[in-house]
């Protein structure tokens, strides 16, 4: 009986190796979860590394982005309107990708895209798309553009709605974390302004510049939203 217990309490790594007491083997096994944690942390550290991005990897990711956002990031009219990235302010571009990652802005597709990107890749993508300026698609109702221009430049004083130009620039090209609107997809702007609070500002403890837009988006009427969206969509 003693010999059976001894055999049970002995382990061998391979045939011919010296047997070890069970206590020693258990100590080795208990180290496995610790090693797993170490490797997991190391893997995460690698994901946030500042190693340079190769031209090949950057181009592959640009091609991936353009699959949905259109050639040169012009935007795309699909089942859902997909926004223009071309000419976008790099500060805004980076902030919004982080917003998807941190779930300050909700979009399940973009969360899956963004959370695997290294910081250096995010910066490289932002720089690439900021330098592009293809002609806007510009397929909004042209008859709304004049009213939209007036709202963009003057606001709606009777409703306490400020003009757009001071933040987004006189030509709607944005500034830092204030996004470029020039050439943006008409349907996309309408959809975002109409549903602002359902997607933006989902973590009030971590507000960003998008918080400025919430009361404005709520105050704009549907015709006003469509007018502004039509005006900026034709700007290049």
pLDDT of residue 81: 95
pLDDT at 85 over 70: yes
Task: Evaluate whether residue 171 is within a structural domain.
Answer: yes
At 170, which CATH number? 1.10.760.10
**Where in 115-158 does DSSP place strands (E)?**
none
How far apart CA 9 and CA 18 sit, in angstroms, is: 13
Per residue in 35-56, pLDDT (tens digit) is 333 333 333 433 556 778 999 9
Task: Evaluate whether residue 136 is within a structural domain.
Answer: no
pLDDT of residue 18: 40
Task: Evaluate whether residue 137 is within a structural domain.
Answer: no
Q: Could you tell me the pLDDT band of residue 98, with boundaries at 50, 70 and 90?
A: very high
Task: Evaluate whether residue 20 is within a structural domain.
Answer: yes
Same domain for 24 and 89, yes or no, is: no
Domain boundary among 65, 98, 130: 130
Q: What is the mean pLDDT of residues 181-198?
A: 96
Same domain for 66 and 33, yes or no, is: no
Phi-psi region of 55 (alpha: psi -120 to 50; beta: other; left: phi over 0): alpha
Same domain for 148 and 219, yes or no, is: yes
pLDDT at 150 over 60: yes
Same domain for 182 and 147, yes or no, is: yes
Same domain for 64 and 41, yes or no, is: no
Q: Could you tell me the pLDDT band of residue 166, with boundaries at 50, 70 and 90?
A: very high
Per residue in 110-132, pLDDT (tens digit) is 999 999 999 999 999 999 999 99
Range of the domain at 116: 55-130
How far apart CA 162 and CA 199 sit, in angstroms, is: 22
pLDDT at 10 over 70: no
Measured at the CA of 219, the angle between CA 216 and CA 224, to 5 degrees, comes to: 95
Task: Evaluate whether residue 62 is within a structural domain.
Answer: yes
Same domain for 100 and 177, yes or no, is: no
Structural contact between residues 157 and 147, judged by C-beta atoms closer than 8 angstroms: no
pLDDT of residue 219: 96
pLDDT of residue 201: 87
Task: Evaluate whether residue 115 is within a structural domain.
Answer: yes
Same domain for 15 and 36, yes or no, is: yes
């Amino acid at each position: 009986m003693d010999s059976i217990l001894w055999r049970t309490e002995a382990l061998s790594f391979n045939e011919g190796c010296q047997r070890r007491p069970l206590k020693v083997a258990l100590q080795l096994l208990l180290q496995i979860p610790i090693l797993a944690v170490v490797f997991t942390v190391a893997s995460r550290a690698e994901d946030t590394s500042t190693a340079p991005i190769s031209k090949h990897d950057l181009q592959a990711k640009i091609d991936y982005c353009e699959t949905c956002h259109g050639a040169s990031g012009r935007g795309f009219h699909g089942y859902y309107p997909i926004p223009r990235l071309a000419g976008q302010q790099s500060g805004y571009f980076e902030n919004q990708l982080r917003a998807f990652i941190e779930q300050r802005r909700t979009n399940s597709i973009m969360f899956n895209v963004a959370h695997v990107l290294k910081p250096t890749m995010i910066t490289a993508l932002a720089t690439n798309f900021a330098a592009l300026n293809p002609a806007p698609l510009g397929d909004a109702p042209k008859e709304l553009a004049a009213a939209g221009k007036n709202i963009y430049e003057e606001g709606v004083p009777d409703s306490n709605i400020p003009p757009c130009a001071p933040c987004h620039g006189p030509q709607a090209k944005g500034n830092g974390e204030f996004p470029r609107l020039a050439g943006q997809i008409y349907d996309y702007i309408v959809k975002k302004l109409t549903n602002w609070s359902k997607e933006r500002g989902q973590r009030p403890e971590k507000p960003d510049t998008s918080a400025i837009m919430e009361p404005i988006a709520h105050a704009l009427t549907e015709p006003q939203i469509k007018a502004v969206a039509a005006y900026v969509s034709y700007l290049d």
